[in-house]
Amino acid sequence: MKKNIAIVAGGDQSEVVVSLKSAAGLSSFIPSEKYNIYVVVIQASSWKVQLNDDVEIPIDKNDFSFVLNGEKITFDCAYITIHGIPGEDGRLQGYFEMIGMPYTCCDVLAAALTYNKFTCNHYLKGFGVNVAESIMLRKGQTIESKEAVNQLGLPIFVKPNVGGSSFGVTKVKSEEEIQKAVEKAFAEGDQVILESYMKGTEITCGMYKTKEKTVVFPITEVVSENEFFDFDAKYKGQVSEITPARLSEDLTNRVKQQTDKIYELIGARGIIRVDYIITEGEKINLLEVNTTPGMTPTSFIPQQIAAAGLKIQDVMTDVIENAIEMSQQ
- pLDDT at position 163 is 62
Q: Which residues pair with 136 in a beta bridge?
A: 193
- pLDDT at position 145 is 96
Domain ranges of the chain: 3-104, 112-130+198-320, 133-196
Residue 81: pLDDT over 80: yes
Name which of 34-38, 184-188, 229-233, 249-253 the model is least confident about: 229-233
Tell me how far apart the alpha carbons of residues 287 and 259 are, in angstroms, rounded to a whole number: 12
Pairing state of beta strands 56-58 and 46-50?
A: antiparallel
Tell me the per-residue pLDDT of 138-162, one tens digit each, with 9 for 90 and over: 999 999 999 999 999 999 999 999 8
Query: Which of 10-14, 82-86, 146-150 is most confident?
Result: 146-150
> Among the residues of the chain, which ranges form H helices?
16-29, 91-99, 108-115, 117-125, 145-152, 178-186, 231-235, 249-266, 300-307, 312-327
- Name residue 265's amino acid: L
Tell me how far apart the alpha carbons of residues 50 and 269 are, in angstroms, rounded to a whole number: 27
**Largest pairwise CA distance in the chain:** 66
- Name residue 143's amino acid: I
Q: HEC string of 191-237?
A: EEEEEECCCCEEEEEEEEECCCCEEECCCEEEEECCCCCCHHHHHCC
Q: Of 231 and 241, which is predicted with more confidence?
A: 241
> What torsion, rounded to 10 degrees, do the Cα atoms 239, 244, 245, 251 define?
160
Contact 103, 77 (CB under 8 A): yes
Listed residue (115, 29, 87, 109) closest to 290, CA to CA: 115
Task: Classify burial at 98, counting beta carbons within 10 Å of its beta carbon; exposed 0-12, middle 13-18, buried 19 or more.
Answer: exposed
- pLDDT at position 164 is 52
Residue 227: pLDDT over 70: no
- Name residue 193's amino acid: I
Pairing state of beta strands 214-216 and 156-160?
A: unpaired
Contact 181, 170 (CB under 8 A): yes
The CATH number that domain 112-130+198-320 falls under is 3.30.470.20
Number of other residues whose CB lies within 10 A of the CB of residue 58: 11
Q: What percent of the chain has pLDDT over 90?
A: 85
Q: Report the residue count for the chain.
A: 329
The CATH number that domain 3-104 falls under is 3.40.50.20
Tell me how far apart the alpha carbons of residues 169 and 165 are, in angstroms, rounded to a whole number: 9
Name which of 5-9, 59-63, 237-241 the model is least confident about: 237-241
State the average pLDDT over residues 206-227: 91
Fold for 133-196, please state it.
Answer: Dna Ligase; domain 1 (3.30.1490)
State the average pLDDT over residues 250-256: 98
Q: What percent of the chain has pLDDT over 70?
A: 95
Assessment of whether the complete model's pTM goes beyond 0.85: yes
State the average pLDDT over residues 201-209: 97
Residue 233: pLDDT over 50: no
Residues 142, 147, 149: CA angle, nearest 5 degrees: 115
Tell me how far apart the alpha carbons of residues 192 and 230 are, in angstroms, rounded to a whole number: 17
State the average pLDDT over residues 113-135: 96
Phi-psi region of 301 (alpha: psi -120 to 50; beta: other; left: phi over 0): alpha
Residue 290: pLDDT over 90: yes
Tell me the per-residue pLDDT of 21-79, one tens digit each, with 9 for 90 and over: 999 999 999 999 999 999 999 999 999 999 987 899 999 999 999 999 999 999 999 99
Tell me how far apart the alpha carbons of residues 249 and 282 are, in angstroms, rounded to a whole number: 12
Residue 195: pLDDT over 50: yes
- Mean predicted lDDT score pLDDT of the chain: 93
Tell me how far apart the alpha carbons of residues 246 and 237 are, in angstroms, rounded to a whole number: 20
Residue 8: pLDDT over 50: yes
Tell me how far apart the alpha carbons of residues 284 and 255 are, in angstroms, rounded to a whole number: 7
Tell me how far apart the alpha carbons of residues 143 and 36 are, in angstroms, rounded to a whole number: 52
